[in-house]
Amino acid sequence: MRPSHLLSLLLLLLAPAIQAAVLAIDYGAEFTKLSLIKPGVPFDVVLDKDSKRKISSVVGWKRDDRVFGAEAKMAATRFPDTHFPYVKPLLGSTSQLPLSLHPNPPSLTDDGVLIFPHPSFPVHLSPSPPSTDEVWTPTALLAHQISYYRHLAETLLPAGVTPEPINQVIVTVPSWWDHYQRKAYKDSLELQGLTCLAMIGEGTGVALNYAMTRNFPDYNLETGQGSKEYNVIYDSGALSTTATVLAFYQTSYLPTPKSKTPINTTHIEVLGVGWENVGGVLLDVAIQDILTKDFITKSGQKDVIKDKRAIAKLAREASRAKHILSANQEANVAIESLYNDIDYRSKVSRAGLESAVEGSIPSFSHPITAALASANLSLKEINSVILFGGNTRVPLVQSALKSALGGRDDIIAQNVNTDEAAVLGAAYYGAALSRTFKMKNINLTETSVYDIIMGEEVIFPSGSKLGEKKIITLPINEKDEITIDFAQSTHTSQTQSKTISEKDAKTKPILSLSVVDIQSTLKNFTSPSPVVQVTLKLDQRGYLAVANAVLTFNSSIEDTKEGSGVAGALKGLFSSKKDKEDEEIEDSSTEDSVAKEDKKESKKQKVALRFREKHTGIRPMTGEEKRTTQARLSSIAKFESAKFAREEARNLLEGYLYRLSGLLSPDSESKALHEYATKEERSKLQKSVDSAMEWLGDHAEEADEKTLRAKRADIEAIETPIITRFTEFVHRPKAIEAFQQAMFASRTFLVEARKNNTIALEAVSNSTPENPAIPPKFTEEELKGVEDLMKDNEIWMDTLMQKQVKLDDDKMKDPVIRSAELDERGKKLQMTVLRLVNKKAPRRPRPSTATTSTTLASPTDHGPEVTESTHSEPDLAEPSTTSTTLASPTDKGPEVTEVTQETGEKMGKTYTQKSQPSDKGPDPPKHEEL
């Protein structure tokens, strides 16, 4: 097997294998799509509680109640101050959006963190925020939404299946997200106790969905023979437009030289990415501005722009108008009581919208050219441009795309679901990680968009594969600590939002590494020329991480002494693992065997060093902030759980009272509460229902779950005896009949069994040691047990039936015989008899002789006739003596007879037992068994 395939196999073994349910999340700025990967659950999109396939990415509050999705979006017009939309672009950022999209925009704290206010935050929030001005970070708001997504997925189980908690997720993110944004998303997941198995690009998710049912050209990775298929995923969403260039091809190889079936693998490689911060929300805001100006012109109400409820109504109407303009030239607008009880009606045209955003239209085509330049490909090499995202349905976006393609409209493909392809691709990737599902072999390669820089050196250049590791080697100095700072290149998009300090910066800091306790570790280190080696990892999720730091030997340390300090030691001292292996192979070829052994022994010594990571630049959540936020999220979840339980108890009590009221009514079709209850019981039950209805009307809002359930339990205590009488009256006759049938079948079995036992015992007494008979099938103790059980049932039944007969005409008396006890006794008797019926028949004892002589058969003897037997007994073993007695040729064993006995409903339909034929000894008496 080739080394590259060995490495692929190793990575596959080390990859996280999915053992339980996993949730795939495609979190968008405006809408989120979910898919659950779990055996027994259909591979599809998770619906929200309104059966919608996409969920609004919004969290809000209606007073103390947290709301999500469409409900939160609708609540924006009534509670705009506690409405938090468009959280995604603020993750890992210190700047607000250029568009006014937040009713209560966040503020930047002194330590560089965006945080939203929450006027009149819930009273149950604990620990309580110090003020209403700083309550929720964007990371915390995303954690709120993730809790809702998990709840939707956990309830997506077949009926009767116990809900299973979801602790693992696979998420999609923009490929151009930087270190800060990816860490912020990961922090949101961790706040909800979720493990991020994979964080793939949104374009990559679409590519996975595209590759699910398609074949691609063959390509040989070693020889370079074959071809690749190049496609562009053009994704235009709410706030950004991204183009991702990908290569698709297939490889095939035999796992072993003797294998006949090759292993086929589909490869997906990300080659380039281009993006701009323009999307569908830009059009929404443009329409909203047109409507606002028109309303002011018509009504003269200039203060409408200060009214948050009015702005929320205009925003909702603008979004609706945009969808209409995608298929029509004009859209009618009507808003009742927009501001100061003034109704507003107007029209907006597609031409007017395009004129308002004319300056931003080229930004929709720029990602295509930027992505192709990043991938070093020309438009002629592209097979197709695959559209994704709701904004690709807008005519002006389609026109901008066609202009970027230079008239090659034929390569525009609409062969994926523009809303769900990314989340379904992520779910497909999750299923491929699982051992439960049999999926197509997929090899996914994603690359970084930014350079990772240490000092003046680029450690991971743009285009590095995610998951790649590199080792840097640092010299030892007199200090006990080595500190290294890492930075990331800034955004390359012209419209990407930046802080003032970032506008002229080429890099921004992301991580500071401190390796400590070096001198104390050196005391126990015996190898010559010690150095510090740090393994860096460009995580599969796209951010920089430190894997480990060790004190080890490096023979090339002398080359680093020309410089001074860490900066002087960097040159030539870091390389990838592959480079290290190549250098070691080259060195080993020039050394003699003794030198190689010495070097091998020296390299064995490696001592782990302690190190600390500190995220620099945009500050992530601290440990204390995470604990505080988790406590607040938990207090909200606890409140909502208690509220749900209380509402459920209230609904159950209310429904129960209404049902009883109907049953107690004289006009009720069911007469159970009238025929089987005494007058006093009906009166008491009616008073209890009326009292509970009156109490519910006065205390329903503040009563807790325990009180509500106790109210119902008190009334059920009155109703239960009545319902028991009714139930017993209906079911008892059938239970008695089944019990009697079981007794009859058992009695029949007992009679036949004793008869057969008597015959068998007689045969045993008349048999000889040379020709023994089969002993009885049942022991006396076994038959005595059945007999005793039947006698006990007869005494119990006769005693209670005498009392029950006197009550049969009075439906208001409690029954003496209960159907449950009849079933229990009948079942016990049934199982006892069936166990004996199914008992294996005993074997015939071995024949024995008193002499040691052997009688040889006459030459004319041909032995006994051979007859076919269904006897389950295996061939008899050789006797312990040396004497052999041959059977008479006429001995054929007993005839086979069948006995069929009806045993009643509780005992089963029919039992049939065949007697055991024998090929030895005289014919025994006929032995019949039930």
Contacts (Cβ under 8 Å, ≥6 apart) of 507: 451, 453, 487, 488, 489, 490
- Going by the DSSP 8-state scheme, the letter that residue 617 receives in this structure is S
Of 570 and 446, the structure prediction assigns the larger pLDDT to 446
Which run of H or E residues covers position 10?
helix 3-14
Sign of the C-alpha dihedral, residues 659, 661, 666, 672? positive
pLDDT attached to residue 619: 83
As a whole-number percent, the residues of the chain with pLDDT over 70 amount to 81
For residues 242 and 176, the answer to whether their CB atoms sit within 8 Å is yes
The C-alpha torsion from 546 through 548 and 551 to 554, rounded to 10°, is: -70
Model confidence at 171, pLDDT cuts 50, 70, 90, reads: very high
Residue with tokens 């057969």: 756
Residue 126 has pLDDT above 80, yes or no: yes
Tell me phi and psi for residue 333, to 5 degrees.
Answer: -125, 130
* Most confident residue range from 341-345, 553-557, 863-867, 873-877: 341-345
Residue 520 binned pLDDT confidence (cut-offs 50, 70, 90): confident
Among candidates 407, 422, 544, 528, which has minimal Cα distance to 476?
528
Question: Could you report the per-residue pLDDT of 210-219, keeping only the tens digit for each?
Answer: 998 899 999 9
Beta-carbon contacts of 564 under 8 Å, excluding residues fewer than 6 positions away, are none
Whether residue 906 contacts residue 742, with contact meaning beta carbons closer than 8 Å, is answered with yes
Residue with tokens 């097997």: 1
> Encoding tokens for residue 884?
């052999």
Number of Cα atoms under 13 Å in the Cβ half of residue 139? 27
Other Cβ atoms within 10 Å of 681 Cβ, number: 16
Locate the DSSP E strands across 539-697: 544-553, 574-576, 607-608, 610-615
Q: What share of the chain is helix, strand, coil (3-state, %, to 5)?
A: 40, 20, 40
- The whole-number average pLDDT for the span 508-517 is 90
d(CA 269, CA 231): 11
Q: Confidence band (pLDDT; 50, 70, 90) for 808?
A: low
Among residues 793, 772, 663, the alpha carbon closest in space to that of 723 is found at 663
Confidence of residue 330 (pLDDT cuts 50, 70, 90): very high
Q: Are strands 263-276 and 442-445 parallel, antiparallel or unpaired?
A: parallel
Would you say residue 84 has pLDDT above 90?
yes
Phi, psi of 533 (to 5 degrees): -115, 130
Judged by average pLDDT, the poorest of 496-505, 604-613, 779-788 is 496-505
Contact yes or no for 197/16 (Cβ under 8 A): yes
Beta bridge pairs of residue 169 = 23, 196
Looking at residue 378, its amino acid is S
The pLDDT score that the predictor gives to residue 19 is 53
Highest mean pLDDT among 52-56, 254-258, 575-579, 842-846: 52-56
**β-strand partners of 332:** 347
In the prediction, which pLDDT does 478 show? 78
Exposed e or buried b for every residue in 17-42, given b needs 16+ CB within 10 A?
A: ebeebbbbbbbbbbbbbbbbbbeebe
Q: How far apart are the C-alpha atoms of 83 and 56, rounded to whole Å?
A: 12
Handedness of CA 263, 266, 272, 277 (dihedral sign): negative
With cut-offs at 50, 70 and 90, classify the pLDDT of residue 158.
low
Length of the chain (residues): 930
Q: How far apart are CA 571 and CA 57, in angstroms?
A: 47
Query: How high is the pLDDT of residue 908?
Result: 39
847 contacts 877 by C-beta, under 8 angstroms: no
Q: Which pLDDT belongs to residue 505? A: 59
Note the pLDDT of residue 110: 86
Percent of the chain scoring above 90 in pLDDT: 45
Q: Cis bond leading into 859, ω under 30°?
A: no
Q: Three-state SS string across 262-299, please? A: CEEEEEEEEEEEEEECCCHHHHHHHHHHHHHHHHHHHH
CA angle 660/661/663 to nearest 5° reads 60
Q: Please provide the average confidence, as pLDDT, over all residues in the chain.
A: 81
pLDDT band at 566 (very low <50, low <70, confident <90, very high): very low
> 3-class secondary structure for 340-393?
CCEEEEEEEEHHHHHHHCHHHHHHHCHHHHHHHHHHCCCHHHCCEEEEECHHHH
- Residue 88 gets the label, from left (phi > 0), alpha (psi -120 to 50) or beta, of alpha
What average pLDDT does range 886-898 have in this prediction?
41
Residue 130 near residue 119, CB atoms below 8 Å = no
SS (H, E, C) 666-720: CCCCCCHHHHCCCHHHHHHHHHHHHHHHHHHHHHCCCCCHHHHHHHHHHHHHHHH
Residue 212's pLDDT is: 87
Tell me how far apart the alpha carbons of residues 237 and 364 are, in angstroms, rounded to a whole number: 11
- Strands 507-516 and 610-615 come out as antiparallel
The pair of three-digit structure tokens given for residue 396, joined into one six-digit string: 């002006």
Euclidean distance between CA atoms 541 and 183, whole angstroms: 9
Which tokens is 869 given? Answer: 């037997």
What tens digit of pLDDT does each residue of 437-489 get?
Answer: 777 888 999 999 999 999 888 999 988 999 899 999 888 877 888 899 999 98
List the structure tokens of 779. Answer: 């022991």
In degrees rounded to 5, what are phi and psi of residue 914? -100, 140
pLDDT tens-place string over residues 15-63: 444 457 899 999 999 999 999 988 878 888 999 988 899 999 999 999 8
31-35, 524-528, 727-731, 854-858: segment of lowest average pLDDT: 854-858
- Which is more confident, 509 or 808? 509
Q: Give me the helices (H) in 700-779, please.
A: 705-766
Query: Do residues 416 and 209 make contact, with C-beta atoms less than 8 angstroms apart?
Result: yes
Taking a C-beta distance cutoff of 8 angstroms, is the pair 104, 96 a contact? no
